[in-house]
Structure 1
Amino acid sequence: MSLKSVFVAAAAAAVLAGSAFADGAHKILVQDQYARVSSPAAKAGAAFMQIVNQTHADDRLIGVRSDVAAKVQLHTHRETDGGVMKMMHVEEGFAIAEGATHMLKRGGDHVMFMGLKRALNHGDVVTLTLVFEKAGEVEVEVPVDLERKAGGHGGHSN
């Protein structure tokens, strides 16, 4: 076998191996995450982030866990028949299509901490475990940012 044939065969094998790995990988990217509370004595708080589905299939965020609060849930704001915005638990979770980004943001979908076990101070870090139907569990370090304005992006990534 010539040197050229060996090189071509090795290059083809590397390309095929890389494609197989990429196709089989479930990768969820979480970026720009942050948490807030309304006051130092608050018993509730929330976390916000961008979730990017870089997998090759639609997925769904179905749960979230953290030891920072007695209860941690996926929440959203919905308008009632009377025109009042109400925050509510989203038991079915949030669908995230293949290649799509789902925003968890103030006034919309978010992670809700109820019964905080400790104060969340500016600069603290909260560990969250996001649970997806297909991608499984993704652990995220979420900085507490009490100075961020609504709609602001601080460039945090994970």
Structure 2
Amino acid sequence: MRRLAVSTAGGLAAALALTGCSGSDGSGSGPGPGKAELTVGSSYMPQPVSADMAAGFLTITNNGGTGDELTSVTSDAAGQVTMHSTMGGAMTEKPSFSIPAHGRLVFKSGGNHLMFEKLKRAPKQGQTVAVKLTFAKSGPLTVEMPVKSATYNPSTGH
């Protein structure tokens, strides 16, 4: 019985490994040099201290061979979501952000960030906020952004 379980687990692992090798076009090469391969991580929203505005942070990683561009962000939790950069203490709204091939776009406190304006409800710590990211070349991604404490620091986890 134990041998069967090990054999079945090994077979499953091999099947999953083979599945991961084939690209959607059947070439077996994955995204290749001509496509972006975007993933999102480290997303969070500090619990807003204002009734009508909140900030959001995340990292978009591009493991593909070509760059892409984040062109808009929307959320049912807000009337609008705008993208901003902060340089030398000055905040500037941006229409888009580039995501380089084999690179990252980081939204963090004190730097690039999202502004959720005209909040429709006040997100509370422990809840999540759905955020739709739209790109120039890739399909949209929807992220469930957890709401953390107003003083949350991702480097310490508190």
For Structure 1 versus Structure 2, the TM-score category normalised by the shorter chain is 0.7 to 0.9
**Residue 22 (structure 1) aligned with residue 25 (structure 2):** no
Distance in 1 (CA, whole Å) between partners of 2:82 and 2:110 is 15
How do residues 1-158 of structure 1 correspond to structure 2 at under 5 angstroms?
17-19=27-29, 21-23=30-32, 26-39=36-49, 41-79=50-88, 85-91=89-95, 93-146=96-149, 149-150=152-153, 152=155, 154=157
What is the total number of aligned residue pairs between the two structures? 134
Q: Shift of residue 146 of structure 1?
A: 1.3
One-letter amino acid of the counterpart of residue 114, structure 1: E
**Structure 2: tracts of 5 or more residues without a match:** 1-20
CA contact (8 A) 2:43 2:57 kept: yes
TM-score by length of 1: 0.74
Verify the 8 A CA contact 2:65 2:101 in the aligned structure 1: yes
Question: Unpaired runs of 5+ in structure 1?
Answer: 1-13, 80-84
Give the secondary-structure state (helix, strand or coil) at the position aligned to 1:102.
Answer: strand
Same amino acid, percent of matched pairs: 32
Task: Give the residue type in structure 2 aligned to 1:35.
Answer: M
Give the TM-score taking structure 2 as reference length.
0.74
Q: 1:42 to 1:87 in 2, by over 3 A?
A: farther
For the 8 Å contact 2:130–2:144, the answer to whether it is kept is yes
Pick closer, same or farther for the CA change 1:38–1:65 going to 2, 3 Å: closer
Cα displacement string for residues 20-69 of structure 1 (whole angstroms, at most 9, x for unaligned residues): x4327642110111012442x53110110111012221111111011111
Question: CA 1:139–1:153 in 2, change beyond 3 Å: closer, same or farther?
Answer: farther
Write the distance in 2 (CA, Å) between the matches of 1:152 and 1:74.
22
Q: Does the 8 Å contact 2:47/2:150 carry over to 1?
A: no
Which of structures 1 and 2 has the larger relative contact order (alpha carbons within 8 angstroms, sep 6+)?
1
Contact preservation (8 Å) 1:106, 1:151: no
| Other-structure match for 2:9 | none
CA RMSD of aligned residues (A): 2.4
CA distance in 1, matches of 2:156, 2:140: 25
